[in-house]
Amino acid sequence: MSLNETYDPDNIFAKIVRGDMACVQLYETDDILAFMDVFPQSRGHCLVIHKKADATNLFDIDASALAGLAGAVQKVATAVKTGLKPDGVRIAQFNGAPAGQTVFHLHFHIIPIYEGEALGVHAAGGPAPAETLEPIAAAIRAAL
């Protein structure tokens, strides 16, 4: 998918926003949703999306919506830092398939980094069960 694709309202994140698919939720406002990545690269890997902006990538969202999204990324990343105590935190955002984007709904990854632990390959193997993600999510939610 290129940088100029039309937004697909049936992408997996749009389905999560509509309630058609479940997620392990961390944080929600009228505009923002943060949830655990079901293909985590590390313990606590989560995603933050804008619920109302039909943006495929960074180039499709208006500046005011992006500002709100960025503030939410900071809030959730701070909770990850406080709740999980990683050695570092990687914030990632990809635009277009050649850049590594796999879901074409603008989203930010928050990936805790733990010294001595290699990152997993994203989307390798099956999805993590909600029952394994929930205790990690609880620690993040407690820090929000």
- The tokens describing 26, both together, are 């961390």
CA proximity to 38, closest of 46, 28, 27: 46
Q: Which 3 state secondary structure label does DSSP give 38?
A: coil
* CA angle, 50 then 53 then 35, to 5°: 20
Asked if 60 and 106 touch (Cβ cutoff 8 Å), the reply is yes
The widest CA-to-CA distance across the chain, in whole angstroms, is 41
Structure tokens at 133: 């993600």
> Among 50, 105, 107, 109, which one carries the catalytic annotation?
107
DSSP letters spanning 122-144: TT-SSPPPHHHHHHHHHHHHHT-
Q: Which helix (H) or strand (E) holds 104?
A: none
Q: Is 107 a catalytic residue?
A: yes
Which residues have a catalytic role annotated?
107
